[in-house]
Chains A and B, each alone.
Chain A
Amino acid sequence: MNKIRHLALMTAGLATLALTMPAMAQADRVVLTLHPIDSDALVENFNPNNPTGPQQMVRDFAYEPLWIDNIWNPDKDYPALATAYEISDDLMSITYTLRQGVKWNDGEDFNADDVIFTFEYAKANQDYPMGIDVYVEATDTGMVVSAEKIDDYTVKFNLKEPDALARFALGGIYPLPEHIWASVEDPKNFANTEIVATGPWTKVENFSRSSVELCRNETSRYNAENAIDCLRFLQLNGNEQIIAAMSAGEVDWLGTGLTDPEITFTPQSEFNNYWLPPGGDVNLQINTTKAPFNDLEFRKALSVAIDRDTIVDISTFGLTTHTRFPVGTGETYATWFNAEALEPYTWLMQYDPDRAIELLDAAGFVDADNDGFRDNPDGTPIAFEINIPNGWTDWINTGQTISENLQDVGINAIVRTMDQGAWNDKARTGDFDSYLMWTNGGPTPYNTYNPMFNPRNMEAGRVDYQAMHQMRLPEVEEALQAFRSTADRNEQMQHMNTIHTAVAENLPVIGLFANPTWYEYSTRNFEGWVTEENPYVRPTVFEGTRERVIHALSLKPVSP
């Protein structure tokens, strides 16, 4: 839909608008407006590895990765700058065959030198987050040791140790054009105002503090199928403004948080649509280094004392999804569950306050000082906080439900909200009672469990959000190592089952629900959106979902 129509719809019938028309007049173009990042003012920066905003706009759309994993349909991946990859038998290297005939939009050829340069560049500029896990000798961390040029269109990455999962991370390398970046000394502070890339939209047009467009790359190989001339990014901030903008036809594609969408979102416009597939799980992270959380019976009681139905239906507005097993992960990894093996643990996810009381009584958690709340078996009182950042409404509601549930069975737990900075800092110290916490996602559950159980993430002073429980489980650590060392899905399943069972047995975290994946779209200007019936790729608008470029390329303008 063209720009004039867009605006006309938004402020129909206003005389003032007529005054502004001459400035808006531009040839009929098809413009898709998407909103991957909130801001107060747009900044003229298109650095693909700048995490403060630019990377949300230019990754995938302008800068292409080597490979686009189709996480929901793994047998239908989308090759990007590479056309094939081969994992060596010993899992110590991966060789990528690069696409021939690709040109950067300034006319230079793309080839292996660019990829090698990109790797070396990441190695030389550690403070520039290119997302390549380069091996660093000094700290003995990292995965990728070197990148070798086999020929002009073949590159081999050598790994530190056998790793069957490395292809997911390596596929996400966004090659930089050597002829441009070789002369950039301080990439972190480079604003990259002229994009040189290979993707479908590379030309920056009409930049202002309130909107910017990324327009068609005339040399892109996608041009035959690409119906969209420009992507537009608007300055927007705050959920009310963002939703109002979609309802008014200013934005086509969103990933913003909703509350009560049937009241606040869909009635606002006939074109407003949403679908919220289950995303990563949210857990109650408890500090198992101290009482009472160091007692397994207490943790079991905690788990059955929580009324997850109320949390899903009321506290989180019915937008979250139930979690079946007490393993810290949920429906996003549904294909990895061995339901039979986990059946004996399902009772831990059922709300059963009587059972909680029984468990607590039996384990000696009784009210010793008659203050109305249970105490530790040694007589010390139990009183703990659930820490949540200010303003995270659904989580605060969840925390309050948990607090009420626990008080019902005699446990003194309260919600403590705090500034996000203070919340961050407190998490790192390792000295806290409990937090509500998201889980990290990725193509396999390994990406969730590795940060959760990596002992490096449990050192006091640098505790990672995922490992806040601080419980070491050797069988999990071994199974994670084994999982990564095989490319065989069946073997991986076995190792994952070991991990699931160990987590269910020990309850280092208390599973709650799966967060929604936020996805809203408007059918006013485009058709071909991902829907529940046709989930051809993950529909998220944010960087980190490499498929989003495929989603954008699949959209066609609605015929007027």
Chain B
Amino acid sequence: MIYILRRVAFYLAAFFVAVTLNFFIPRIMPGDPSARIIASFQGRLNDAQVEAIRASYGTTGSLWEQYIGYVGQVLRMDFGISTVQFPEPTSSLLFYGATWTLVLVGIAITLAFLIGTMMGIHAAWNRGGFFDSVFTPINVMLNAFTPAVVALLLFYAFSLQLQWFPLGRAHSTGLVPSWDPQFIGNVLYHATLPVLSILIVSFGGWHLGMRNVMINLLNEDFVILARAKGLSDRRIRYRYVARNAILPQITSLALSVGFLLGGALVTEQVFNYPGLGKFTVTAIESRDYSFIQAQLLLLTMSALVANLLSDIANVILDPRLRKG
């Protein structure tokens, strides 16, 4: 219990540091939102209008005062309105993007973790066998591909040439999001290629990680004991070896889930998928301070929460941690 409380205190401190950095980093970047708006008028504004726009996009008060105001907003979970796409509330765009990112990256991470881990267990159990010597190298190679290349190849082959899949988007235009099976089917159909593009380059990592830890554990005394007791192969494989081997995997999974909300920029760009990665890059380019802050905050919180959950999961899965 003390272990958990210590972790919680640590996460609160980390959260505060992150909140502070979220505020200052966008402001250190050169340029401000007004510059882009004014530039878009290509000289059609007069001085008074330029000044007025600068004033209304700019910020009032010193940096310190702005910071205090911002911390107050964070505590109230008020993200304000988008600095660039005013008067749209930042939260509405943020949650829209976050939803589709959860769909896209969530499915991709889950599938990658399941497929990779299962393949890893299988490969380690029969190490040196046919499965291990064929799939391990292939998966390592796939893992070395960059998402950009894979996404573009899939897009070119299946969307442009064969036209088996749509060019992009999360669902057909004109459909209203709902829970009915038709809409869900449409979403899955649209998500197929984007998910594949992430899946192909990521499950190899899980495979390799699981296989390596498993192989180490297979030589441990408790495995020999379990065999000596005459337990079934299946029971040893999953209840004894895999359960121990999965601990480091859970920690890495927590890290990936934490960064899940960072989105998958390249995939989103290629398939015009409305995820957070794309929104964030656009926000950074246009200096949409409130969106950048909100997105960084979301990312920080999800990373911290995911880590906390992995700490808790570790305590549950590993009795040795419960004492301290």
Q: Which positions in A face B, CB cutoff 8 Å? A: 3, 7, 10-12, 14, 16, 19-20, 22-24, 40-41, 43-45, 50-53, 126-127, 129, 131, 133-134, 136, 138-139, 141-143, 188-191, 206, 208-211, 234-238, 240-241, 244-245, 248, 250, 419-422, 424-426, 428, 438, 440-441, 447, 451, 456, 464-466
Contact = CB atoms under 8 A, between A and B. Distances in A.
Interface residues of B, number: 61
A206 B174 contact: yes
Interface string B11-36: 00000000000000000011110011
B56 A127 contact: yes
Top 3 A-B residue pairs of the complex, sorted by shortest distance between their CB atoms:
A421-B31, A127-B52, A126-B52
B106 interface: no
B31 A422 contact: yes
10 contacts: A3-B174, A23-B174, A41-B96, A45-B87, A51-B37, A189-B87, A234-B173, A237-B272, A422-B31, A464-B43
A53 B93 CA distance: 15
B44 A131 contact: yes
Nearest to B188: A16
B175 interface: yes
A23 B269 contact: no
A526 B185 CA distance: 33
B177 to A, nearest CB: 8
A51 B41 CA distance: 8
Contacts of A240: 155, 270
Contacts of B30: 419, 421-422, 424-426
B279 A189 contact: no
B143 to A, nearest CB: 26
A43 B88 contact: yes
B3 interface: no
Interface stretch (B121-129, B159-167, B239-247, B301-309): B159-167
B231 interface: no
B186 interface: yes
Given A134-B48, A241-B272, A424-B36, A20 B175 contact: yes
Contacts of B274: 40-41, 209-210, 235
Contact of A19 (B45, B46, B84, B185): B185
Given A51-B40, A141-B48, A191-B87, A41 B31 contact: no
A397 B166 CA distance: 33
Given A45-B87, A190-B87, 7 more contacts: A16-B186, A23-B176, A127-B52, A139-B47, A238-B272, A421-B285, A424-B31
A453 to B, nearest CB: 12
Contact of A11 (B163, B176, B270): B163
Contacts of A52: 37, 84-86
B189 interface: yes
A244 B47 contact: no
A273 B46 CA distance: 38
Contacts of A211: 173-174
B44 A12 contact: no
A11 B186 CA distance: 12
Nearest to B31: A421
Interface string B53-89: 1011000000000000000000000000100111110
- Pick from B167, B269, B287 the residue with the most CB of A within 10 Å: B167
Given A236-B272, A464-B43, A41 B97 contact: yes
A127 B174 contact: no
B39 interface: yes
A126 B48 contact: yes
